[in-house]
Amino acid sequence: MLDFRHETFLTLCSCRSYTKAAEILHLTQPAVSQHMKHLEELYGCRLIDTSNRKIRLTQQGEQLREFAMTVFSDAKHFKENIQSPQTAPMQFSFGATLSIGEYVMPGILSRLLNRYPDLKIHMSVANTQVLLERLNSGELDFIVVEGLFDQSQYDSTLFSLERFVPVCSPKSELAQGAASFKKLTESRLILREQGSGTREIFENILQKNNYSLHAFQKVIEIGNMAAIKKMVADDLGITFLFEVAGRKEIEEGRLAVIHIPGFSEQREFNFVLLKDSYFRSRYLTIYELLKQTFLEIQD
């Protein structure tokens, strides 16, 4: 089992500051430094590079970070599992980003709970970065995310491919015929707050098409997708979203997909675990259950 100095190391990795790490752990700064010195002597290599007054992990430091995160997370989950009777119902705690948590998971979980009434499920909804942090700390078993992340740092499996589309009110002139990206910039853009997966994906698409948010005459940030869809339906602006998040409104004629010639974007929804987790096979069994239920709903 890894000792308390590895916890100090993970805290330092997270905040990238000896001072902040000491505050979080209620230690002195020299104590944090001593813990790092001990680990570097233990492993016989440099773990942290502090040149240019910035804390950067060495290659060996990155390897230890990945290993230590998985060990501490698995230890926490192992303790919870071993204290539960073998006959206890299946339970899991996971996180989902907004589009997935609000528009994909409710149907899946409803069907699963009808089929398996004894299931115990906890779902947290937050942006990708927050969920990754909670996964790293062992608070969540796995996460399902729409946002961009470093896939080399995690064990990830494709959950689904979803269309990412521009939408407007059916009353808008943009709903009639084709429209260019340049034409769209004349409209008010209503989008999610910074840090959301949807926002990050949209900004990447703009960059790919040689545009930025500054190209739009008016930009409004709203942290609630239901509010964004209502404002767009009322012809107060346009937005980009996952088609699955606006499917009901599109089918009922309250939103219209804007046709941009040559525009076709799909993005991954990913099922994400910590690397080399002891519970990997168990989590992948849950993945198969969630995925199969999702496919049943689509039929």
What single letter denotes the amino acid at residue 175?
A
| 123 has pLDDT over 90 | yes
Q: What does the pLDDT average to over 142-167?
A: 92
Q: Which CATH class is domain 4-80?
A: mainly alpha
pLDDT digits (tens, 9 = 90+) for 56-112: 888 888 888 888 877 777 666 666 555 555 544 578 899 999 889 999 999 999 999
pLDDT at 88: 45
pLDDT digits (tens, 9 = 90+) for 202-241: 899 889 888 889 899 899 999 889 999 999 999 999 999 9
d(CA 220, CA 88) in angstroms, rounded, equals 48
Contact predicate 111/297, CB 8 Å:
yes
Question: Across the chain, where does the E strand assignment appear?
Answer: 48-49, 56-57, 91-96, 120-125, 142-145, 155-168, 188-191, 218-221, 239-242, 256-257, 265-273
Contact predicate 35/41, CB 8 Å:
no
- The CATH code that applies to domain 88-160+268-298 is 3.40.190.10
| 145 has pLDDT over 50 | yes
H, E, C per residue of 211-257:
CCHHHCCEEEECCCHHHHHHHHHCCCCEEEEEHHHHHHHHHCCCCEE
pLDDT at 234: 96
On whether the 161-266 domain is CATH 3.40.190.10, my answer is yes
The residues of the chain that CATH labels 3.40.190.10 are: 88-160+268-298, 161-266
Give the model's confidence band at 245: pLDDT under 50 very low, under 70 low, under 90 confident, else very high. very high
User: Which is more confidently placed, 12 or 165?
Assistant: 165
